[in-house]
Each structure stands twice: as C-alpha cells, then as structure tokens.
Structure 1
Amino acid sequence: MKKTILFSIILVTLASCQNKEKYDATGIFEANMVTVSSETNGKLVSFAIEEGDSIINGQQVGLVDTIMLALQQKQLLSQQLATEKSSPDIAAQAAALRSQIAHQQNECDRIARLLADGAATQKQSDDANAQLRTLRGQLEGLLSTLDKNRSSITESASALQYQREQIEEQIRKSIVAAPITGIVLQKYAEQGEYTTPGRPLFKMANLDDIYFRSYFTASQLAHIRIGQAVTVIADFGGDEQYEYPGKIVWIAQESEFTPKSIQTQDSRANLVYAVKIAVKNDGRLKLGQYGEVRL
C-alpha cells in the first residue's frame, strides 16, 4: 500500500514538472499605444467618443472652437484683396507721359528740319531737345517709383497670404482626429471643457495586431532569432489556455534585471533580454494579460 502511494506521488511530481516545462518564458501582452493631445487652445465644442469605441485612421472625433480663427481668416482675406487692388497700373499712369514724349520727339524732329533749312535757330533746337530729355527722365523716375510701389504692395499681399495660411493651419489643428485605426482605451477630456496645446485628450491602440513581451536568459538567446515562429500561450485563469502563432520581431540588445512578475526556466538567472513577439488578436487577448511562450 505504501509503495502504491509513493508511486502515485512520484507520478504527480513528474506530471507537475512536465507542466512546468511546457513553456520557455513568460510575459504579458501589450500594444503600441498612442496618446492624442490637443494642438491648440479653445473649448471642445465636440468630442463624441467613448472608451471602447472603434475608430479608424483619420476619423474626426472632436473639434476645438474655431469661430475666432474663421473671423480672423475673413479679415485677412479682405485686407489681402484691398492690398492687391491698390497695386498701381503702371501702363495707365505712364501713358500720359509717354504721349508727351512722343509729341516732343515730333517737335524736335520738326525744329531739326527747320534748322536745316535755316528757318529755326540752334537755341530753339537745344531747348526742344532739353525738354525731351526732361520728359524721358520724368518717365524713368515714374516707372521706378511705380515698380517699387508695386513690389512693396505685392510683398504686403504675400505677407497677408502667409498669415491666412497660418490661420488655416490652426483651424486644421483644431480638428481632433484618430492617428491610427484602433480602440479608445482611455478618455481624458469631455465636450465643453477648455483645452490647451499638449493636453492629452484620449489614448488608443490597435488591438488587432498586438505584441507579447517576454524575457529570455542569455543561455536561451542562441535558440531565438528575429523572424522566428513561436507559440504563445494565453492564460485565462484555471486550466483555460489558448495557443496563438507568433513571430519574434524584436530582441533587446542590452540585458536587464528580471522583472518581479516574470518567471524564467533558470531561476538563478538575474539578467534577461526582452523580446517582442507579434501576435494576431482574435478578440480574446487583453492588454496586460499573462501568457507563456514556447519555442
């Protein structure tokens, strides 16, 4: 009888040891989480998301008040149009002076013919040519002034355009949108609250493609490599466990002390290497959930 009991104990002990050796390392499930923050000042006029909501990349989930920005944009547009309309019409303003120059050129030609026939004096010819040079100088000065004025007005209009683009960028930043496709994990603000740049609004993560962070000892590194297929075992408590195919996507280059919540095959090992294993979530896996990995 005693031999039978002893044999039973040995079998239980062996079974227990075999169960303990069914995994090579333990860890927890995690995901790349993104915290979305406000990019501008103002009141949250809309913020229609709740924790647990599924949102897609680029989806608008909130809006910071843009009334003042829209008014500033209209004001700048009016100033820009008024500035552009004040640009001088160089051709129109120089037309009268060009006409005078053409008339004076004809007068100089006429006096030159009279001078050749002896019907005009040299002084009359000199005076006419001097008047022509004066008119040409006036035209040159006018064109230079008008060109400078137009350049200055163009620069002013461009500056107003840049200001409008800045306002447009601020309006764009007032839209709160999802940067990735995923699930809202936490919500830090409510509609109607005042927000400032940098204030966290919500946190989200893609829970379809998650990672299993595990830790391996130095002696195990020789048996793992990036791209290697492994089996991840999710522990749901009791005897309920599910296996998932996984692929090693990252191995730490530096060791660290074994986290208190992590078990390794070698209980004497103090230093371990973190490893990330990509796992496709079927909807059952939760962040922070305990699991095991088998090579």
Structure 2
Amino acid sequence: MAGKRKRLVLVAAVILVAGLGVAGYQRWRAPPDANHLTLYGNVDIRELYAAFYDSGRISQMLVQEGDAVHKGQLIATLEPGRFADALAAANAQATIQRQDLAALMAGSRPEQIAQAKAQMAALAVIYQNDAANFKRYAALAPHGAATIQQRDDAQAAYLNARQNYEAARQAYILAVKGPRAEDIAAAQAAYDAARANAALAAEEERDTQLYAPADGVVEERVQEPGDMTSPSAPVYVIALTNPLWVRAYVPEGDLGRIWLGMAAKISTDSYPGKLYRGWVGYISPTAEFTPKTVETPDLRAQLVYQLRVYACDAQGQLQLGMPATVTIDLTQPQMAAARGADVCGGRHDAGN
C-alpha cells in the first residue's frame, strides 16, 4: 500500500514537471508583443581631441581622467617665453612705424621751414656776389685788365653758386609743401602691416593656453608636462556628454513601424529598474549586415538599420559602451511621437 502511494506521488510529480515544461515552452514560443519593439545596443557618445593651436613644450596639465570640464575652462598651458618675446618685438616694430607715419602726417616743422629759408637766403647772397664778379672779369679780360684764368675761375664760382642756390630753393619749396601723399600712403601700409604682425603675435601668445572646446568628461590624458606638442598631437580626449544615445539595430521588417521622434524607454543592467527617457533621433538610410557585437545565429544573415535613441541622463549614469535595452511603444500616436524629442526639456542635436 505504501509503495503504491509512492508511485502515485511520483507520477503526479512527473505530470506537474511536464506541464510546467510545456507551459514554459509555449511561453517561450509565444509571439513577441506586437505593441512594443525591444532593441539591444550600447551607449555611444561623441569624442573630441583637444590640441594646442601652436607647437611648444607643455608647462601645465590642469585636469585628470574622469574630471568634468565645461566649455571655456583652462585645461593646459604651453611655456610662454618665446611667444612673449615675439609679441614684445612685434609691438616695438609697430610703435616705430606709427611714429614714422605720425611724423609724415604732421608735415614739416616750422623750424625746418625757417632753416631751409635761411639756407636759401645765404646761398642767394653768394650766388649774387659770384655773378657780379664773373660779370666784371668777363668785361676786363678782353682789354687785358684781367687774365683769362681769372675770368674762368669767376665763371666756375658763379655757376657753382647758382647750383647751390637752386638746390636750397628746391629744399625750401619741399619743406613748405611737406611729405608726398605717396610717402604717407607707404608709411600707412607699413604701420598696418606692423599692427597685423603684433596682433598675430598676441594671438599666438593666447594660443599657449588650451581651453575646453565643449562640456564633457576627460576620457584620456594623452600628454604630460614637459612633452613637446603640436596642433596634430591631441593633449586630451574629451567625451561629450550631450548628446548621448544608444546605438541599436532594427531589423528590416520592423523599420516601417518606427519613425523619427518616437518616445522610447532605456534600461541597463548596471541600474536594474531604472528607466531613462529617450527618443528616436536617427535612422540610417542604408542597410548593413548585423554587427558581430549583437548578432545571434538566426540574425547573422539579416539586414538591419542603425538606430540612435537619444537619452536623458541628468545624473550621468550612462557610460560609453554600456549595454542597454531600448523599448519603444508602437501604439503611440505619431503626433505625440513627434514631440518625443522634447522629453528632456529641449531637443538635442540628432544629426549624424
């Protein structure tokens, strides 16, 4: 009797296990929820490579990996010595050119004009005296009262005095007229060039300071103080925390059920039960084979389209590469879905 009771209990247990197995199998084989689309992907962000605009030796690195930086924050500096010297030389040259231009613009000083006039008057007296002497000797020479040599010497002195007087008269005229317009224009151009060189030197000196080009988190500190750097050598790699999205892939058969702006929910294994709001911000226009990172044996030959689901993450919990699950309610009205991108209080950049 006891043995029969044991056999009945065993049979009942077998039937129960079989029933549970069939139910589980049927549940596993049940068709997916037609009202929701579940996708799997990874958190993705943009990165930028911060570098100096000029070459030089790094003097300071002011932030570390993991530090949050904001746009315009000073994050590194170069040794400024040679840049400061170049700026000082450029400013001095600009000052010289400015003084030269000012002198030309001011014209001749009254003292210069008076000096030129006095010089002309003195030479005029000599010129008149030598002219009179030459006239006398020229008259006496034919009668033997003066030698031919005396006449020729008087003529040479007269001609030289006339040339000196004419040169002094022209100098006086130039002093009264002042500099030529062409000279002033040339001096202005030289001054403008000197100012431009000084501005360039000032800009190069400012380039010894590296500022964060955007808000983000320092992902990698590539160089250190003492390193020689150049514009082609990044100093930091900065991860941009906005925008932030989940890169997922949607099968071709589901492509017609989604559109840009649809609201979505994002979850991760790192924060169980935590849901992040998001929206479909980008759908690739070209198909590709399922990436190896997400493929399963029955998906290897399927064509999929890349999808970006932009996420709201005010607490900064979503990290680059983190696996994430995206759930999209397919019953949402299209008009409502069109406002899905505003779930974070403002539309983010949903470009490529």
TM > 0.5 fold call:
yes
Structure 2 contact 74–210 (Cα < 8 Å) conserved: yes
Residues in 1 aligned to 2:176 and 2:170: alpha-carbon distance in whole angstroms: 10
Residues in 2 aligned to 1:252 and 1:285: alpha-carbon distance in whole angstroms: 23
Residues in 1 aligned to 2:297 and 2:281: alpha-carbon distance in whole angstroms: 22
Pair 1:284–1:12, CA change in 2 (3 A) = farther
TM-score by length of 2: 0.66
Q: How far off is 1:208 after superposition?
A: 5.8
What residue in structure 1 maps to residue 107 of structure 2? 90
Tell whether 2:319 aligns with 1:286. Answer: yes
Tell whether 2:19 aligns with 1:7. Answer: yes
Pair 1:147–1:208, CA change in 2 (3 A) = closer
Structure 1 contact 217–269 (Cα < 8 Å) conserved: no
Tell whether 2:249 aligns with 1:215. Answer: yes
1:187-227 CA distances to partner (integer Å, 9 max, x unpaired)?
Answer: 10111211122101111123364111111112211111111
Structure 1 unmatched runs, 5+? 101-133
Pair 1:74–1:20, CA change in 2 (3 A) = same
Structure 2 contact 215–241 (Cα < 8 Å) conserved: no
Structure 2 contact 108–178 (Cα < 8 Å) conserved: no
Question: What is the SS of the residue equivalent to 1:154?
Answer: helix
What residue in structure 2 maps to residue 124 of structure 1? none
Q: State which of 266, 270, 275 in structure 2 corresponds to 1:236.
A: 270
Q: State which of 8, 28, 50 in structure 2 corresponds to 1:36.
A: 50
Q: State which of 275, 282, 285 in structure 2 corresponds to 1:250.
A: 282
Q: State which of 270, 275, 279 in structure 1 corresponds to 2:302.
A: 270
Tell whether 2:306 aligns with 1:261. Answer: no
Residues in 2 aligned to 1:176 and 1:17: alpha-carbon distance in whole angstroms: 59
* Identity across the alignment (%): 19
Structure 1 contact 24–294 (Cα < 8 Å) conserved: yes
Letter in structure 1 aligned against 2:217? I
Computed over aligned residues only, the root mean square deviation of the Cα atoms, in angstroms, reads 3.3
What residue in structure 1 maps to residue 193 of structure 2? 159
Pair 1:221–1:136, CA change in 2 (3 A) = same
Residues in 2 aligned to 1:18 and 1:241: alpha-carbon distance in whole angstroms: 25
Bigger relative contact order (CA 8 A; separation at least 6): 1
Structure 1 contact 233–244 (Cα < 8 Å) conserved: yes
Q: How far off is 1:25 after superposition?
A: 1.6
Residues in 1 aligned to 2:30 and 2:213: alpha-carbon distance in whole angstroms: 46
Structure 2 contact 249–305 (Cα < 8 Å) conserved: yes
Q: State which of 51, 56, 68 in structure 1 corresponds to 2:65.
A: 51
Pair 1:80–1:283, CA change in 2 (3 A) = closer
Question: What is the SS of the residue equivalent to 1:200?
Answer: coil
Pair 1:179–1:20, CA change in 2 (3 A) = farther
Structure 2 unmatched runs, 5+? 1-11, 118-167, 329-352
What residue in structure 1 maps to residue 150 of structure 2? none
Q: How far off is 1:45 after superposition?
A: 0.8
Structure 1 contact 94–143 (Cα < 8 Å) conserved: no
Residues in 2 aligned to 1:186 and 1:18: alpha-carbon distance in whole angstroms: 47
What residue in structure 1 maps to residue 217 of structure 2? 183
Q: How far off is 1:149 after superposition?
A: 2.4
Structure 1 contact 232–244 (Cα < 8 Å) conserved: yes
Matches within 5 A, 1:22-171: 24-86=38-100, 87-88=103-104, 89-92=106-109, 96=113, 139=173, 143=177, 145-171=179-205
Residues in 2 aligned to 1:160 and 1:218: alpha-carbon distance in whole angstroms: 64
Pair 1:190–1:65, CA change in 2 (3 A) = same
Q: How far off is 1:95 after superposition?
A: 7.7
Question: What is the SS of the residue equivalent to 2:180?
Answer: helix
TM-score by length of 1: 0.77
Letter in structure 2 aligned against 1:231? K
Larger radius of gyration: 2
Tell whether 2:259 aligns with 1:225. Answer: yes
Q: How far off is 1:153 after superposition?
A: 1.9
Question: What is the SS of the residue equivalent to 2:203?
Answer: helix
1:82-118 CA distances to partner (integer Å, 9 max, x unpaired)?
Answer: 2222232315379838x97xxxxxxxxxxxxxxxxxx
Question: What is the SS of the residue equivalent to 2:285?
Answer: coil
Letter in structure 2 aligned against 1:13? Y
